[in-house]
Amino acid sequence: MPLSNMLDLDTLNAVTLIRLEEKPGRSISSSPAVADGRIAPVPYNDMNRECLTVVVPAYNEAQTLPLLHLRIVAALNTLPELDGRLLYVDDGSNDRTWDIIEALVVNDTRVGGIKLSRNFGKEIAITAGLDNTPFGAVLLLDADGQDPPELIPQFVARWRAGYDNVYGTRLERQGEGLIKRFLAASFYRMIGRLSPTPIPTDTGDFRLLSPRALQALRQIRERHRFMKGLFGWVGFRQIALPYRREPRLSGRSKFTFWRLWNFALEGITSFSTAPLRVTTYLGLITAVFAFGYGVWIVLKALILGDRVPGWPTMMTVILLLGGVQLIALGLIGEYLGRLYDESKRRPLYFIDTAAGIAECHPQQIIDGKIPQNTASIVDCEQQ
């Protein structure tokens, strides 16, 4: 059934209220957990058409998915020469997100969905979507509706112009408070200065990746994943697409200030060793200051005969040095903890259920590399 022959919003919401049954020729599989599941390439005969899969990671977005889906479909329908597909990734939601994804899959042959075994976080959900994209280019889109799907044709136009990474740059962040906007802007500017990898400011996950950029990202299997940095690290030709970010379609953001703090810490420690260098400089400055102050106290006692003030000065110095040492140890601990996590080499995620993609067979990653016997993802970048 083509993309244009879809359910309207009211009907779709009604469908998700009942238990969906497996339909002939359109299977919904529930298989044993697959570690780092990667879909094998789908045979594709029409090599004259370009291929694009829209990947939408979702966590408790049951209220937003129906309307967002209709908007994505409408955008893809403006590109009839493009073979467009959709892949939804349920990141362990505890609402009816997966029921809605099943409804979308059953009613359209170009829609697929995977459900992770638990909530692994947005970065891992994005990785699962990239791993399980059957072929061609991929466009990442948030499930909250803040990234307008109507811009898909503009992303495709820049991809056709020869760019491998077309990323959206936010001109405005509607629906976000002043403090959050200030902190976000400060973070991106800070990491842009600290990291040797170029990370554009005011840029999220809303982007289009060419097949070769996608294949490069698939080979990066580190656990602590700051995707915005990884997108820039792989290189290739990149270009910005400015846009105005819209308010959420429904609900509230899942990112609390604490989660945003951890996200910022993840980004800085994943793409910069500057914090360690700063603590080294801070320790050096403190040592020089302490040495100079000690010389001053000795000279003052010998020449002027002044008695050195006692407890207040000593306690102040001890607390200052102790605080600096604890900060340095904390930073070292953050980096060592990441090394420990990487050394365990656990799978990044497990797939609980796959829907609409039964024709594709998950395969495991071997030592973080794409197995050679899978050939390569079909490159539909035929210009």
Q: Could you read off the pLDDT of 2-13 as tens digits, one per residue?
A: 444 444 545 455
Residues for the chain: how many in total? 383
DSSP 300: I
For residue 28, the SS3 value is strand
pLDDT at 5: 45
Other C-beta atoms closer than 10 Å to the C-beta of 166 total 26
pLDDT at 201: 75
pLDDT tier at 174 (50, 70, 90 boundaries)? low
| Poorest-pLDDT segment among 92-106, 149-163, 181-195, 341-355 | 181-195
305 with 282, same domain: the answer is yes
**369 backbone dihedrals φ, ψ, rounded to 5°:** -120, 155
* Residues 6 or more apart whose Cβ sits within 8 Å of residue 230: 217, 220
40 with 95, same domain: the answer is yes
Compute the radius of gyration of the chain from its Cα atoms: 26
List the one residue out of 348, 381, 351 whose CA is nearest residue 208. 381
Encode pLDDT of 223-246 as tens digits: 778 877 788 888 888 888 888 887
Domain count, the chain: 2
Q: Identify the bridge partners of residue 111 per DSSP, sorted by sequence position.
A: 86
112 with 203, same domain: the answer is yes
pLDDT at 24: 38
**Residue 50 belongs to domain spanning:** 9-271+345-374
| Range 24-35 average pLDDT | 39
Is the residue at 234 inside a domain?
A: yes
85 with 174, same domain: the answer is yes
Is the residue at 334 inside a domain?
A: yes
330 with 368, same domain: the answer is no
DSSP 324: H
Q: How far apart, in Å, are the Cα atoms of 79 and each of 8, 73, 151, 318?
A: 20, 10, 12, 67
pLDDT tier at 94 (50, 70, 90 boundaries)? confident
List the one residue out of 196, 213, 207 whose CA is nearest residue 240. 207
340 with 297, same domain: the answer is yes
84 with 182, same domain: the answer is yes
Q: Sign of the C-alpha dihedral, residues 113, 119, 120, 126?
A: positive
**166 backbone dihedrals φ, ψ, rounded to 5°:** -105, 110
Assess contact for 62 and 95: CB atoms under 8 A: yes
17 with 94, same domain: the answer is yes
Is the residue at 339 inside a domain?
A: yes
223 with 340, same domain: the answer is no
279 with 235, same domain: the answer is no
- How far apart CA 123 and CA 121 sit, in angstroms, is 6
299-327 per-residue burial string, b: 16 or more CB within 10 A, e: under 16: eeeeeeeeeeeeeeeeeeeeeeeeeeeee
Is the residue at 381 inside a domain?
A: no
On average, the pLDDT of the chain sits at 72
| Range 85-108 average pLDDT | 88
Residue 68 confidence (pLDDT) above 80: yes
Assess contact for 239 and 169: CB atoms under 8 A: no
67 with 203, same domain: the answer is yes
80, two tokens? 């009839």
Is the residue at 380 inside a domain?
A: no
Q: Are strands 350-355 and 111-116 parallel, antiparallel or unpaired?
A: antiparallel
Residue 36 confidence (pLDDT) above 90: no
Residue 135 confidence (pLDDT) above 70: yes
pLDDT at 259: 65
Residue 139 confidence (pLDDT) above 90: yes
CATH code, 28: 3.90.550.10
194 with 290, same domain: the answer is no
| Poorest-pLDDT segment among 61-65, 106-110, 311-315 | 311-315
Is the residue at 382 inside a domain?
A: no
Is the residue at 352 inside a domain?
A: yes
| Poorest-pLDDT segment among 60-64, 137-141, 177-181, 254-258 | 254-258
